[in-house]
Amino acid sequence: MGRKRLQESADGRPTVHTVAARAGVSIASASRVLNGVGGSPETVRKVREAAAEVGYVPNAIARSLQSQRTGLIALAVEDIGNPVYVEMMRAIEEVVAASGRQLLVHATGGQIANETALLRRLAHRYVDGMIVSPIRVTDDHLAALVDSPVPVVVIGQLGADAPVDNVRTDSRTGVCLAVDHLVAAGRRRIGFVNGPLDTVPGAARDAGFRAALAAHGIEVDERLVEVGDFQYAAGRAATERLLARARPDALVCANDLIAVGALHALLAAGHRVPSDVALVGMDDTELARMMFPQLSSVSLGSAERGRRAAELLLQRIADPTLPPRREQVPPSLAVRASSAAVPDVSPLFVPAPAAPPTPEVTA
Amino acid sequence: MGRKRLQESADGRPTVHTVAARAGVSIASASRVLNGVGGSPETVRKVREAAAEVGYVPNAIARSLQSQRTGLIALAVEDIGNPVYVEMMRAIEEVVAASGRQLLVHATGGQIANETALLRRLAHRYVDGMIVSPIRVTDDHLAALVDSPVPVVVIGQLGADAPVDNVRTDSRTGVCLAVDHLVAAGRRRIGFVNGPLDTVPGAARDAGFRAALAAHGIEVDERLVEVGDFQYAAGRAATERLLARARPDALVCANDLIAVGALHALLAAGHRVPSDVALVGMDDTELARMMFPQLSSVSLGSAERGRRAAELLLQRIADPTLPPRREQVPPSLAVRASSAAVPDVSPLFVPAPAAPPTPEVTA
DNA sequence: CAAACTCCCGGAAACGTTTACAGCAATCAG
DNA sequence: CTGATTGCTGTAAACGTTTCCGGGAGTTTG
């Protein structure tokens, strides 16, 4: 009796009270020492000792309640398995970690409901700020973004006058870069494997593809356009459908996962890349360089966008009165073997011998 | 004056006090209604109305301080870009989300310091539990795990008697599966591209490789063994070094990223896969299926391990007195084209024409 | 030597919730 | 008609921290 068990927390772990009592000082002094502000040498020594003896570690939640900050930044992306988001994430991580905060990654699966639900959860103040890269945007989604209680930065296209910090690229122009490059290399039957048209990037890339062809006076052959989603399997399936009905001499893909699927489909169907069909992906992820042949790809500056978004967010957290800002990262094209001007990477694709040296298994 | 600005929070957002005052009830009643326990119909109506009018959303931090739970689960992995962790993460996320919690993902970069630092931060109670998949383990690391204030589950090998929940696989045996398969296919000059030997999986796989060869009475040719780290680029470089000094007829790789690097190196050096060199990766990630030819790979059940770890963690959170448990997920081998018994996937690798149909660019 | 200043300390009030407890009115059983 | 039960309600005490504020001791200045 007496100390009324104010000494330690419910689960028996030491609190600042424990430390203070043990050091024979007030909790105020203990807290000050623990935070490194003030305290006489003697007090500092006693508190430090007491803290070490009981193994005190401050409760971050209580601290957050007091300081109104959690030190957490959330990142919501559609698909955590897409390497483009991995690169974005790494860039964001770097900036966020440098500011002494932690990154909380959340995959939305592209479901818009998920994302608004997430925003609502954030309204609960578990994070100091959020970066979100939505692929679909509706009005109430936008509304949720605008009056979010915590700062939000959006990576991706957003309505022109949305009062939200925004880092975007121009994937429409990005597709044009790819088409220009292919046309310059003499390709004419250029196909396009896109993601869903009801997504923001899907729509922009479709528009870019058509505009680019038009600019070169090439009419769009709808049999050369196919849609799946932004995944590998869908890209492969879409390419197979496309190849079943048309004969492109080049393929632009709406992202690298699709491009890898397309490469697989092309090779499996006996087409050579790039001599029969040139291939250009988009996002310029590590995956493009991992393929054989390495894939040309339109860089949309994902790491750069991530970095800038993180910086914007940190600035807004520091000063919430800032006017909404918008930054743009230009696309660029990385030309690699899959669309190289030279007809083929022939020495690498060694032909199988006409007669296999080992007995055939079937037949 | 009078209400002493107790009505709203520091930044002007409504609190339960705001709602209570507006509804003309006590904060206790307001809180009860908001949590859906008790309250007369009339009170419920008034509180609901007031809450809606002011746009009240509860402060999760304050709630956590009270309830001692945050609803957050942390996952610490080495490299968020490695598809094996993506799969693990997806499985964990599923279980975690089903329990109404959120997953916080943290990349450690394999730095042991990072990981202990993370554990220390966790000691600060921001998360209700943690899943960690360390590739290096030291004693004080282990100590930090053992007396972590929040429940921890480790995915990976751990000292036999470590009193920590643990989900493991047997990658040693996994390598044996790969070697057995290759030997059965008639390969004898089997190479091994491993990750760092000072990591737990690196060491286990090295041991497995040597044991497997010994079991088949094959002597280890050290020129056929190379080490990099668990990344694509390192795998490629290591394979190039290996190929520069030896001529394997099969290659076992310590994970799929390395295997992809090896495939790239092999093809670039003019070797056919699998007819010249058979290739087997490890982890059986989506990446293995994305390659051409598709890679054989030893599955270590990453998704399954993730799922089980998450379940173990949730059970421990529910009942912290549970004795430490250990689960094991057996490896299995997925045989695909890269090590198929048939000599080659020849029709797919169409030879480039002897004389290119288009003029050569250089010379 | 008095006044002003500097340090350091402890008490207590936040931060925004949930919840144990007690009071009170209304209903019910006897 | 009284006593017990029920159902709501409000007061207040937590949760573990940080921090404002006033007071006391010691030091400098005029």
CA distance B325 to chain A (A): 22
Cis peptide leading into residue A324 (ω within 30°): no
The mean predicted confidence, pLDDT, of chain A is: 89
- For A264, the closest of B120, B126, B290 (CB atoms) is B290
pLDDT band at B303 (very low <50, low <70, confident <90, very high): very high
pLDDT digits (tens, 9 = 90+) for B223-240: 999 999 999 999 999 999
Assess whether B61 (CB) lies less than 7 A from strand D.
no
Q: What's residue B79's pLDDT?
A: 86
Q: What's residue B8's pLDDT?
A: 74
Q: What's residue A1's pLDDT?
A: 35
Q: What average pLDDT does this structure show over B294-303? A: 98
Q: Which helix (H) or strand (E) holds B332?
A: strand B332-334
B-chain CB neighbours of A70 within 8 Å are 61, 126
Residues paired with A326 in a beta bridge: A166
Q: Which chain A residue's Cα is nearest to B293?
A: A264
Token representation of residue A324: 């909404």
Interface probe with B: pick from A16, A56, A104, most Cβ of B within 10 Å = A104
Output residues with Cβ under 7 Å from nucleic strand C. A 24-29, 32, 38-40, 42-43, 62, 65-66, 68; B 4-6, 9-11, 13, 15-17, 27-28, 31-32, 34-35, 56, 58-59, 62-63, 65-67
CA angle A272, A276, A279 (to 5 degrees): 80
- The residue that leads in pLDDT, A147 or A248, is A248
- The residue that leads in pLDDT, B12 or A363, is B12
Listed by start position, the domains of chain B span 16-58, 70-168+303-329, 171-300+334-340
The answer on pLDDT for A363 being more than 50 is no
The answer on pLDDT for B345 being more than 50 is no
A-chain CB neighbours of B57 within 8 Å are 120, 123-124, 149
Report whether B208 contacts B173 (CB < 8 A).
yes
pLDDT digits (tens, 9 = 90+) for B42-85: 999 999 999 999 999 899 999 999 998 999 999 999 888 899 99
- The residue that leads in pLDDT, B74 or B122, is B74
CA distance A106 to chain B (A): 7
The answer on pLDDT for A344 being more than 70 is no
Q: What's residue A115's pLDDT?
A: 76
Closest residue by Cα to the C1' atom of nucleotide D18? A66
Å between A38 CA and C7 C1'?
Answer: 9
Report whether B323 contacts B338 (CB < 8 A).
no
Token representation of residue A101: 């905060």
Domains B70-168+303-329 and B171-300+334-340 share a fold: yes
Q: What average pLDDT does this structure show over B186-191? A: 96
Strands B278-282 and B296-299: parallel
CATH dotted code for A171-300+334-343? 3.40.50.2300
**Residue B221 backbone phi and psi in degrees, to 5:** -95, 110
> Range with the lowest mean pLDDT among A33-37, A217-221, B354-358?
B354-358
The answer on pLDDT for A3 being more than 60 is no
Q: What average pLDDT does this structure show over A271-278? A: 96
Q: What's residue A354's pLDDT?
A: 41
Cis peptide leading into residue A274 (ω within 30°): yes
The answer on pLDDT for A221 being more than 50 is yes
Interface probe with A: pick from B124, B302, B342, most Cβ of A within 10 Å = B124
Judge: A65–B60 Cβ closer than 8 Å, yes or no: no
Q: What's residue B280's pLDDT?
A: 98
pLDDT digits (tens, 9 = 90+) for A9-35: 767 789 999 999 999 999 999 999 999
Report the distance separating Cα B242 and Cα B92, nearest Å: 37
Q: In Å, what is the CA distance from A188 to each residue of A192, A214, B346? A: 12, 12, 29
Q: What is the DSSP letter of B125?
A: S
Q: What's residue A100's pLDDT?
A: 87
Q: Which fold has domain B70-168+303-329?
A: Rossmann fold (3.40.50)
Q: Which helix (H) or strand (E) holds A80?
A: none
> Range with the lowest mean pLDDT among A72-86, A114-128, A341-355, B315-329?
A341-355
Q: What's residue A138's pLDDT?
A: 84
The answer on pLDDT for A119 being more than 50 is yes
The answer on pLDDT for A210 being more than 80 is yes
- Sign for the CA dihedral angle at A31, A35, A38, A43 comes to positive
Q: What average pLDDT does this structure show over B151-180? A: 93
Q: What's residue B352's pLDDT?
A: 41
Q: What's residue B10's pLDDT?
A: 65
Q: What's residue B81's pLDDT?
A: 87
Report the distance separating Cα A89 and Cα A103, nearest Å: 9
CB pairs under 8 A between A and B: 174
pLDDT digits (tens, 9 = 90+) for A162-185: 899 999 999 999 999 999 999 999
Is residue A155 helix, strand or coil? strand
Å between B363 CA and D19 C1'?
Answer: 78
> Range with the lowest mean pLDDT among A187-201, B50-64, B255-269, B339-353?
B339-353
The mean predicted confidence, pLDDT, of chain B is: 89
The answer on pLDDT for B5 being more than 60 is no
The answer on pLDDT for A111 being more than 80 is no
Q: Which fold has domain A69-169+303-330?
A: Rossmann fold (3.40.50)
CATH class of B171-300+334-340: alpha beta
Is residue A23 helix, strand or coil? helix
pLDDT band at A106 (very low <50, low <70, confident <90, very high): confident
Please give the share of chain B, as a percent, with pLDDT higher than 90.
70
pLDDT band at B248 (very low <50, low <70, confident <90, very high): very high
Assess whether A40 (CB) lies less than 7 A from strand D.
no
The answer on pLDDT for A343 being more than 70 is no
> Range with the lowest mean pLDDT among A34-38, A312-316, A341-345, B347-351?
B347-351
Q: Which chain A residue's Cα is nearest to B358?
A: A343
pLDDT band at A345 (very low <50, low <70, confident <90, very high): very low
